[in-house]
Structure 1
Amino acid sequence: MASLLFLGFLGLNCFTEFGSNAQVLPDIEVQTLQTVFSKLQHPNASRISQSFCSEISWNYTISDLIESRIACDCSDGNNTICHVTQILIKGHNLTGIIPPELGNLTHLQVMSLLANRLSGPIPPEIGDISTLQDVVLEDNLLGGSLPSNLGNLGRLDRLLLSANNFTGTIPESFGNLKNLTDFRIDGSSLSGQIPNFIGNWTKLSRLDMQGTSMEGPIPSTISDLKNLTELRISDLSGASSAFPNLDGMNTMEELVLRNCLITGSIPAYVGEMALLKTLDLSFNSLTGQIPGTLQGLESLQYLDLSYNNFTSSFQTSCLQSNVNLVSASSSATDSTSVSWCSRKDLPCPQNPNHHSLFINCGGEGMSVNGDDYEEDLSTLGPSNFFSSADKWAYSSTGVYMGNENAYYTVRTSSAVNGLDFYKSARLAPLSLKYYGLCLLEGNYKVQLHFAEIMFSDNQTFVSLGSRLFDISIQGQVVLENFNIMEEAGGVGKGITREFNVDVNGSTLEIHLFWRGKGTTAIPDRGVYGPLISAITVTPNFNVDTGDGLSAGAIAGIVIGSFVILILLLVILRLTGYLGGKDNENDAKLDEEENTHISTKIAGTIGYMAPEYAMRGYLTDKADVYSFGVVLLEIVSGESNTNYRPKEEFVYLLDWAYVQQEQGNLLELVDPSLGSRYSDEEALRMLNLALLCTNPSPTLRPSMSSVVSMMEGKIPVQAPLIKRKDADRNARFRAFEMLSHDSQTNVSIYSHNSLVPRSTSMDGPWIDSSTLIPDETQRQSSSRMLLENPREQT
């Protein structure tokens, strides 16, 4: 009798009374089940017989994800004939296909093959089983198009197809499924617009369309689904649209419309959904006021309005648990009226002063390879924001489906790749953004460290777990559908991905984003979404620590000097010292041009970045010759030409050209700098100075080319010299005078030769033919007399 009660508990009505004639399964169904279970690659396929319905060994539950249950209806033929009504085999590593022979089981009501490894398409014969009420095929490897025959299942109550690889569009025939209460297609590659016929599903209580390839807008017919309690739609492409009409859906508990291209304001009635627990409207373009009724909604447990354009936000702390308002306000919003975390790009509240970042995501602080990784132990849970002393922060969004007690940090006991920071990780249901705050402008090397420490690779259904997410840095997608386990070659193996990125403001944004791809219930519900172990950010530029001049410092000196020089040139021009009174009309024109240039460049002094100043104001009309003078003076340490005879500077240029030919151009660098400079940067500036001060105006580069050379976008071109003969003796005497200032070389010039000879203090004379092989180079190195400075500007 105990056995009879046990079977009844399992829903197996295989006997009418204990001891009576056993009810049997018809031969046709025995043969069908043998074929079906064989194609499913079930290990016990051969054990199926006419007594199948009475075999209690087929019915057991090991965990929420490992279960087997077979149910029969034995009320036919005077309670002697049985028919299979339910096949539930969950978490059994079945690796075959869904057999079309299932269509022969004409009494089947429930078919659930959740969390296996089944592949191939859904056979259209499934649509011939008119008795089907539940079809659950989530978390498999199924693909292909959805068969239109499924639209024939008029009794169908649940159709769960999430976490598979289906393609194509939702068949029009699905509009006939008017008894649906639960429809899920998360994480598939289904495309096309969300069909209007979803308005036919008026009994629907749950609709999940997250992470597909479908297009918006959300059809207006959704307003007919008054029985919805859970609505999740995300990541739509296509055109933007206003907030869908959900008025009257008073039973709504979970409302997720994330990244759906929604514009306009949040309707007031959303704040009146008395049963609402979760509201996620992140990553849209919502504007206007946030309904104040949301703040007073007692049922609301998780609120995420991040990454929108509201003109106001709650007066709430950035660190409030289960509320995320990061970047929720428009850039036009008065910064004093919203919390710092609500402002776009999380601007630095002070002068940027950081140039590196080391975070042990989800773990304690530790030292790795000499770098101190900061701890990241916040346990605020879903939809929250955490900031660490204006140096870094993270924003987590979303709530795990079906698991309110899911983890947001995870740890393992063993080190991975010999590095302890792989022992821990932070994960999020939907979106995880890390911010580097108050960073100096420049180019950085960003290293992201990953290790999958939540899945298994033991060839069981647990190993079917698949975590896929996108990664973007500074708003640019750098990795799509990133799979840690696949990229690393297994679980528990560390992997690093490295990127070079620019920080043009003061904030670095690293965004890990789940788009609904992969599994959601393996090895347990709530194990999906982005995961990261550690973050390393280091500068690709010389940081000015007092031990040297950084590229930014040098550029700042150059720009500042250039501004002063232009202003002085304008004054000298107006007073006539630069020949400005030769022609009144020309003088007026030149005055307007120089004033225009100098005024704009002067306006860049202060907080403006040198790069911006160069791009915005050093136009091709700017004085490139004067710019070259400044470059040469900055490196050589010589004073401004306006404070000494112009001829002396002419000699300095000759010296520079000769040193370039002889390979000792770095001797021009100001000795007071010692070794505190970059040879590469100094040579670039010196060669650029020679280009800009070429005696022939036609051989000078345009200012736009100068800017590109300064930024390293194009190489500095070799100077070409075209000069006129003049009094060489004066120049050579000046060369001799300048040469005695050198600590390593002495240059001797013969009055009978145009070619300089060079010798070191300890070495022999060097034949000039080995240095200057042809007449062109002789002119380049010796015919150095400049034309009248007025003719060159």
Structure 2
Amino acid sequence: MDSELSVVLVIRLLFFNFLLLWQLGNGAKVNNGTTNIKANGDNTTIGALTDAEARTLRLLFKSLQSRNTTQFPLSYPICSTNMDAEIRCSCDNTKNRSACWVTAINLASKMLDGLIHSSISLFKNLRVLDLSSNFLTGSIPPSLTTLQSLRILNLADNNLDGTIPLNLSGLQSLRYLDLSRNKLTGPIPDSISDCQYLNIIILRLNFLNGTIPEALGTLSSLNILDLYSNSLSGHIPVELGELTVLQFLNLDDNNLDGELPEELGNLVDLQHLYLTANKFTGRIPETFDKLIHLETFAVGGNYLSGQMPSYIGNWVNLTKLILIGNNFEGNLPAETFSLPKLQRLLVSDVSNPGISFPKREVIPESLIYLVLRNCKINGSIPEYIGKWPELSYLDLSFNNLSGGVPESFQKLNKLFLTSNELTKLPSWITKKPKPSSYPKADLSYNNFNVKCTNEKCSGLAAVNILPTRSFIDNMKTEKCYRKHNSLFINCGGEELNVGKDHYHNDTSTSSFNLSPSDDWAYSFSGDYLWATVNASTLVRNSTCKDCTPETKIDNDFRLAPVSLMYYGLCLHKGKYIVTLHFSETLYSKGEDHSITGKRVFDVYIQGRLVKKDLNIKEIPELQNEVRKLKFPAKINEGSLEIKLFWAGKGSLYNPPGINGPLIEAISVTRVSRKLHRWEIALITIGCLLFLMLLLAFSLRMGWIGGRKLRSGH
């Protein structure tokens, strides 16, 4: 394999040298240390590159090799005055045979690997450097920051590592900076403030850390600041409020904390504000009422609290409102449902008193996607919601809704009403509809009295109604043929033994499954906000041949979009220890930047919240062991309930975008009760009395000493 690779490299090098000589011999002739440049479309020589720049081009080509060995990525000629040329030159036409120089290098998506050669700094008149969407490695050469004429620097979507050069003060003409989708670490340099003409900064999807520089607030021309998915920490600098022409600010998926600065309300031109998946606390500032041009307001997956501001109803340009996964109170402003451009509205986990539907009928013109999950909504569902013209996705799960499912919901594509108090099914489920006339829906954990079969209710083929609350209650109280003192489940994996513990198979892909032995069950519900998955995606079963039982458990897991329930049945009455095994298998890869993602969910045992905002990555881990959490549980009626619930915190978009609870294994073992001192004393006294009685009885019967007496006669 190595010899074949060497041959390929030699052939590629020879081909490159041949092509370079061919190009130099056809219009780019070397003459007295210069390279002639021809005019566009004819053979007129209009100038010549200096020997230094021609030599630098050769160095650049040698360092930027192409993975495509059949076609060299650069077109002829090497340097052209054509505006769309890969290597563009400019010439001073005021003199005959005037000097020329390289002004633009456009080599995006050319399958280039290798390094960026430090000699690139010799292109003193370079205005555009675009090496994006390649496979370049190594670091960004510090010499690149001496290019005072550079206006566009795009190194996005490569494999560059190291840090951003600390001294950026030489890039005095820079307008556009894009270093996204690399592996850059370290801080954002304060010297970025010396690039006073910057309009666009895109550093998303790296591993940058430290705080956001206050100096960014001096970039008065900045329109776009995108720092999505890094490891930045600390507060948002109040100085960002001085970026009065800023239109796009994305700080999603970092480790930022503290309160949202009131000064951000000064960004009156702001159109898109992304602050999700951080650790922000406090209220949304009242000064945000001035952000009337907002099209996107996304603050989901934080710890914000207080009332949802009433001025949201005045943001008439809003298309996306993402409030999911916070600790808000009160009601959503009724005007929100009437916003003329609103397409996506996502809210969850609202308390005191919760959200209520508008009292009068409203008709949102553009609303497509509505999530009001776990918002303490009471009463019946208004029929008019199903009449909203563009609505296709509706999630009202985990509320206190009663009555029936509206007939008008038949036109939706997806419907989630899980865990409410609904009692009546619509006719499009109970009657036999056309195959395409009902939505994909989850109506489980309600109070439906389901008597129809799939033959009578063909809607059940797409609508998940089971389990109902009564079904779960009956399952828990069903008489068991045999009771157990323990339970072991290999979540998402095959049946196996680990020491003396027998782990059950858990590879079913259905939303509800009762084990063949009838002694445990699981169910999951919900839908991913952005990722498209099928049922089999929710079960990951390892197939390695040399896996030990322990490593099999580590590689198997089950995940769920919102709620994952496990039921232990047929367990003896008593006290137990519930051990939950976790490992962040999905948000762990550097190549897709998911390693910066946060999976946060809540854990309930027997209906009681035992762990809020659990982040798997933050669970203490012993050497060579998976992360485990142990919880005490008391079983009186023979059943155990374990619930993992995603309340919307943590990463919402981070690749692969599969949020929600994840678990590898469950072990439930009975606790041997320790005896009290008085119990030990009673048992001791009882044992002594028994021994004394036994001794007296033995003497009476002649079993002790009798043989000696008889032998003496």
TM > 0.5:
yes
- In structure 1, what is the equivalent of residue 611 of structure 2? 479
**In the alignment, residue 130 of structure 1 is paired with which amino acid?**
T
Correspondence list, 1:331-350, <5 A: 341-344=467-470, 346-348=472-474, 350=478
Q: Does 1:392 align with 2:392?
A: no
Q: Helix, strand or coil for the counterpart of 1:288?
A: strand
Map of 1:214 onto structure 2: 328
1:468 shift after superposition: 2.0
Distance 2:554 2:334 in 1: 47
For 1:630-645, what aligned pairs fall within 5 Å after superposition? none
Gaps of 5+ in 2: 1-39, 41-74, 94-99, 105-126, 128-138, 165-172, 178-194, 432-437, 454-464, 674-681, 707-713
Could you report, residue by residue, the CA deviation over 1:129-162 in whole angstroms, capped at 9, with x for unpaired residues? 2221110011111122211121122221110000
Residue 49 of structure 1 deviates from its aligned partner by 4.1
Superposed counterparts of 1:129-144, under 5 Å: 129-144=243-258
1:61 aligns with 2:164: no
1:251-400 to 2 correspondences below 5 Å: 251-273=366-388, 275-294=390-409, 296-297=410-411, 299-301=412-414, 303-313=415-425, 323-329=441-447, 341-344=467-470, 346-348=472-474, 350-353=478-481, 354-355=483-484, 356-380=486-510, 384-389=511-516, 390-400=518-528
Kindly tell me: are residues 507 and 255 of structure 1, through their superposed partners in 2, closer, same or farther at Cα, counting changes over 3 Å?
farther
Change beyond 3 A, Cα 1:96–1:540: closer
In the alignment, what sits opposite 2:145? Answer: 48
- CA distance, structure 1, for counterparts of residue 399 and residue 603 of structure 2: 18
The match for 1:512 is: 644
Alignment partner for residue 451 of structure 1, among 583, 586, 597?
Answer: 583
Q: Is the 8 A contact 2:579 2:666 kept in 1?
A: yes
Amino acid at match of 1:254: Y
SS at match of 1:197: helix
Contact 1:378 1:386 in 2 (8 A): yes
Give the conservation status (yes or no) of the 8 Å contact 1:452–1:493: no
Q: Distance in 1 between matches of 2:150 and 2:217?
A: 19
Report the alpha carbon displacement of residue 269 of structure 1 after superposing the two structures with TM.
2.1
**TM alignment of 1:560-571, pairs within 5 A:** none
- Equivalent runs, 1:643-658 vs 2, <5 Å: none
How far residue 43 of structure 1 moved from its aligned partner, in angstroms, is 6.3
Letter in 2 for 1:746: A
How far off is 1:235 after superposition? 1.2
Cα distance, 1:507 vs. partner?
3.8
Alignment deviations for residues 349-404 of structure 1 (CA, whole Å, 9 cap, x no partner)? 54244535332211222233244323222335xxx433334443322233223221
More strand by share: 2
Which AA in structure 2 matches 1:264? G
Q: Which moved more, 1:344-353 or 1:261-270?
A: 344-353
Conservation of the 8 A alpha-carbon contact between 1:346 and 1:507: no
Partner of residue 178 from structure 1, selected from 271, 292, 302: 292
TM-score (norm 1): 0.58
| Residue 267 (structure 2) pairs with residue 149 (structure 1) | no
Instruction: Specify the alignment match of 2:555 in structure 1.
Output: 423
* Deviations, residues 106-151 of structure 1 (Å, cap 9, x unaligned): 2211110111111122122222222211100111111222111211
Aligned equivalent of 2:184: none
Structure 1 residues not aligned, in runs of 5+: 24-29, 31-41, 75-80, 543-657, 668-738, 749-756, 765-793
Matches within 5 A, 1:713-752: 744-746=694-696
State the Cα distance separating 1:459 from its structure 2 match.
12
CA distance in 1, matches of 2:523, 2:468: 11
Q: Which moved more, 1:396-405 or 1:260-269?
A: 396-405
User: Deviations for 1:567-596, whole angstroms, at most 9, x for unmatched residues?
Assistant: xxxxxxxxxxxxxxxxxxxxxxxxxxxxxx
Instruction: Indicate how the Cα distance of structure 1 residues 397 and 661 shifts in structure 2: closer, same or farther if over 3 A, else same.
Output: closer
Structure 2 equivalent of residue 616 of structure 1:
none
- In structure 2, distance between residues paired with 1:512 and 1:347: 19
What is the CA-CA distance between 1:9 and the residue it aligns to? 12
* Offset of residue 20 of structure 1: 9.1
**8 A Cα contact 2:152 2:176, kept in partner:** no
The 1-side partners of 2:315 and 2:305 are apart by: 20
Contact 2:176–2:200 (8 Å) recurs in 1: no
SS of the residue aligned with 1:422?
Answer: helix
What code does the residue aligned with 1:377 have? T
Rounded to whole Å, the distance in 2 between the matches of 1:6 and 1:665 is: 110
Residue 536 (1) aligns with residue 633 (2): no
Deviations 1:313-342 (A, max 9, x none): 46689xx9963333222xxx6576896511
Secondary structure class of the residue paired with 1:125: helix
* Letter in structure 2 aligned against 1:327: Y
One-letter amino acid matched to 1:435: Y
Task: Compute the TM-score of the two structures, normalised by the length of structure 2.
Answer: 0.64
Output one character per residue of 1:193-222: Cα deviation in whole Å (capped at 9) or x when no partner.
Answer: 111111111221111112112212223232
Against the structure 1 CA distance between its residues 375 and 53, is the aligned structure 2 distance closer, same or farther, given a 3 Å change threshold?
farther
Structure 2 vs 1, CA of residues 507 and 106 (structure 1 numbering), >3 Å: closer, same or farther? same
Cα distance, 1:274 vs structure 2: 5.1
Change (3 A) 1:142 1:534: same
Deviations 1:153-174 (A, max 9, x none): 2221110000111122111111
Q: Which structure has the larger Rg? A: 1
Percent same amino acid at aligned positions? 34
| SS state at 1:501 partner | strand
The residue that corresponds to 2:657 in the other structure is 526
Q: Letter of the aligned partner of 2:250 in structure 1?
A: V
As a proportion of its length, which structure holds more helix?
Answer: 1
Q: 1:100 and 2:214 equivalent?
A: yes
d(CA) in 1 for partners of 2:335 and 2:249? 25
Is 1:238 the counterpart of 2:352? The answer is yes
Aligned to 2:175: 72
Shift of 1:179: 1.3
| 8 Å contact from structure 1 (residues 451, 493) kept in 2 | no
1:415 and 1:423 in contact (8 A); partners too: no
Contact kept, 8 Å, 2:305 with 2:328, in 1: the verdict is yes
Shift of 1:273: 3.8
Query: How large is the Cα RMSD of the aligned pairs?
Result: 4.4
The 8 Å contact of residues 240 and 262 in structure 1, kept in 2 or not, is answered as: yes
Alpha carbons of structure 1 residues 263 and 458: separation in structure 2 relative to 1, 3 Å: same
